[in-house]
Amino acid sequence: MSIDPTLVERVRQGFGAQFGRDPDILVHAPGRVNLIGEHTDYNDGFVLPCAIPFGTTVALGRRADSKVEAVALDLDAAIDRFDLAMAPGRLAEGHWANHLRGITTALPHFGFATTGADIAIAGNVPQGAGLSSSASLGVALGLGLSTLAAAYEADRVALARAAQWSEHHYVGCACGIMDQLASACSTDGRALLIDCRSNSGEDVAVPANTAIVIVHSGVTRGLVDSAYNERRAQCEAAARHYGVAALRDLDTIALETGRTELDDTSFRRARHVVSENARTIAAADALRTGNLCQLGDLMRASHASLRDDFEVTVPQVDALADRMNAAIGSEGGARMTGGGFGGCLVAVLPAEGVNALCAAIREHWDTAGIEHQLLLAVRPSAGAALL
């Protein structure tokens, strides 16, 4: 697993400083970048993310009682304390400890044991970038607490579902399951094609000479949860219109023939989901066979659909996507990644093209007067693990 050793050291030392002893276990769960398959997960569709070499590390120590005491090392050593004997209440929206309280409450519902614990937390996933810092925190805490309570190998899908439950009920975002599954189940060097109806995943090797570039648009994702929840509600309403359990159940023909009396916005939301599912399955094949030309076409079409039909891009993101695609040429492609409304873009391209792409991105920033942002070339990382 590619984890920054300084992060692990920081967490180990932070635990020692707070609790005056060594932790019993350390766990790490990564963030993710989604290659394609956007806003499809909560429509029971397909996604193709991979874990990234940034994540959340958690140190845990056993306690003799049922209390949980946690220190957030990245937030000026903020502390949260509660007793498992009483269900911990939800704090104000946006409070970091809702992740902890949520996962602690979720674990028993998903078949896991829990226990009192001393906990130190730190991470290095860029915040507000759409790289799933939140999922990596939930999965790391879930894996850590369940392992501390009973040293068995956690069921990874159940772990992801517990972290998703926590997002829904404590954090306040009605997210799909992609981020948590990517964090919990990914394999080194591989993307994960997930069927979000069955929650089953299939590893897709990313050829060794292929690079993944992640770049921040410079637009911080704001007011995201409400817009996200609104898109989700629109998709569910469209599924009801078509009389299907989820938009996953529609093909292009059913989409068109059942269109009567559906308003234009709902139709376009549904069209994005139907077309994106088909693109995601085709993209997994293209990646598997190293066909970067086809993959690039699919990524560009995904971006256009998210811009025109799903309407979750912003002009700065569109402009950067265009600039990146121009620099990449026909072999590979770039698109927005994650929930949208700013955040990051992702490109997949031959490794030898990375320097030219990065130069084009920097030049774009200079010409557009945008402050230089996060720009990384990564390989897919392993999912959550005990250290």
Binding site for ligand GLA (CB under 6 A): 34, 38-39, 41-42, 175-176, 178-179, 338-339
Strands 375-378 and 210-216, by their bridges, are antiparallel
What single string gives the DSSP state of each residue in 25-83? EEEEEEEEEEEE--S-GGGT-EEEEEEEEEEEEEEEEE-SSSEEEEEETTTTTEEEEEE
User: Helices (H), strands (E): how many in the chain?
Assistant: 11, 12
Closer residue to ligand GLA, CB minimum distance, 10 or 32: 32
Cβ pair 135, 34 in contact under 8 A: no
Min. distance of Cβ 130 from ligand GLA in angstroms? 6
Q: Which two tokens stand for residue 277?
A: 């599912």
What are the DSSP E strand ranges found in the chain? 25-36, 46-62, 67-72, 78-83, 117-123, 190-195, 200-205, 210-216, 333-336, 344-350, 375-378, 385-386
Closer residue to ligand GLA, CB minimum distance, 119 or 160: 160
Q: How far apart are CA 169 and CA 307, in angstroms?
A: 30
Closer residue to ligand GLA, CB minimum distance, 52 or 59: 52
Closer residue to ligand GLA, CB minimum distance, 110 or 310: 310
**Contacts for 14 with CB less than 8 Å, ≥ 6 apart:** 59, 71, 73, 77, 120, 122
Q: Which two tokens stand for residue 82?
A: 């509660």
Q: Provide the sign of the torsion angle of the four alpha carbons 37, 40, 46, 50, taken in this order.
A: positive
Q: How far apart are CA 216 and CA 218, in angstroms?
A: 6
Min. distance of Cβ 122 from ligand GLA in angstroms? 22
Is 203 a known active-site residue?
A: no
Closer residue to ligand GLA, CB minimum distance, 158 or 357: 158
What are the DSSP E strand ranges found in 116-172? 117-123
Catalytic residue among 41, 118, 179, 309: 179
Closer residue to ligand GLA, CB minimum distance, 59 or 160: 160
Cβ pair 132, 155 in contact under 8 A: no
Min. distance of Cβ 203 from ligand GLA in angstroms? 20
Catalytic residues: 179
